[in-house]
Amino acid sequence: MALDTLYQWVYPLKPQERKRTKQMHILCLGLPRTATDSLRVALTTLGYNYVYHGFDHIADARDCVNWVHLWSLKTSGKPITRGDFDRVIGHCEAVTDAPACEFAEELIKAYPEAKIIINYREDVEAWHRSVINSWSTAEKRAGWVHPLLVWFHARMFWVNVNEHRLTYGGLWRGDYRKYAKDTYRDHYAMLRGLTKDMGSDKVLEFKVQDGWGPLCKFLGKDIPDEEYPNRNALEEVVAKVLESLMQDSAKAWKNLALALGVIVTGAATLIWKVKS
């Protein structure tokens, strides 16, 4: 956590300081690429006014500061309180996707009143292909320069720290091609272990093919007069990720140019003094 303090000094960015304004109704704790965005839209359609999804934290880097802090607490074995979570998701009635799913046990303890949805895919191999396609495509589209630019803008820096620690280091154990399937099996075994003594009124295992019926029955809602959402297109996912990652790239380029200018000027001055 000392490193986080250093980061905050070098790349100052005020974290979110939200308070709980709505009841937390639903914790969707399945992994990314299990139609989590479709589930988010479905819950919104059913009347849950704000559903925190995986795109939210990369769209607002102040959230990333909070999630990095929460991850530091988790990995150091320190307790995470309801108030700690409320600072970043206090405005939400439900959560889906990462990084929330990485705090499944802590969220269940923090919000015991919430219902739990274990969203999953039956075909783990197909899920793994989807993970590889989405992450590798985003990496290629971002290009070689992105890892350099993140050092020259505070918001880009914190998004990168979040993705490096929580997503690549935490969720994918450093290699999504090699370890994602292990993560999948371990994660769902953990979820089922945490919820095994809870009743069917508290926990729902759900896949997108189930559609409105089981979801509405579980939540006590009428079935909408529309098709269940389909928001799982790879291109849409990649576009959203890149839009968020690169929103500050122009300013980062400017800062990089200024830094290079300072270095070149300093070097030229030093050479001139040595020669004179």
In a domain, 135, yes or no: yes
Q: What pLDDT does 150 receive? A: 81
Task: Give the three-class secondary structure for 94.
Answer: strand
- Distance (Å, rounded) from C-alpha 25 to C-alpha 5? 33
Q: What pLDDT does 256 receive? A: 63
Structural domain including 46 reads 2-247
- Which run of H or of E encompasses 213? helix 212-219
Q: What pLDDT does 148 receive? A: 82
In a domain, 270, yes or no: no
- Distance (Å, rounded) from C-alpha 66 to C-alpha 96? 17
In a domain, 269, yes or no: no
In a domain, 231, yes or no: yes
Q: Tens-of-pLDDT digits for all 276 residues of the chain? A: 667 788 888 778 999 999 999 999 999 999 999 999 999 999 999 999 999 998 888 788 899 999 999 999 999 999 999 999 999 999 999 999 999 999 999 999 999 999 999 999 999 999 999 999 888 877 777 777 777 888 878 888 888 899 889 998 999 999 999 999 999 999 999 999 999 999 999 999 999 999 999 999 999 999 999 999 987 655 666 666 666 666 677 676 676 666 666 676 666 566 666 666
Q: What pLDDT does 235 receive? A: 60
Candidates 68, 84, 78, 102; CA nearest to 190 is 102
Q: How many CB atoms lie within 10 A of CB 122?
A: 8
- Which run of H or of E encompasses 206? strand 203-206
In a domain, 178, yes or no: yes
Q: What pLDDT does 6 receive? A: 81
Please spell the DSSP secondary structure of 18-39, one letter per residue: ----S---EEE-PPTTSSHHHH
Q: Give the CATH number, domain containing residue 9.
A: 3.40.50.300
| pTM of the entire predicted model | 0.88
CA geometry: angle 43, 49, 55, nearest 5 deg:
70
Helical ranges in 52-153 per DSSP H: 54-59, 61-75, 82-89, 104-110, 124-142, 146-149
With the C-alpha atoms ordered 45, 51, 54, 57, is the resulting torsion angle positive or negative? Answer: positive
In a domain, 79, yes or no: yes
In a domain, 264, yes or no: no
In a domain, 131, yes or no: yes
Number of domains in the chain: 1
Q: What pLDDT does 195 receive? A: 97
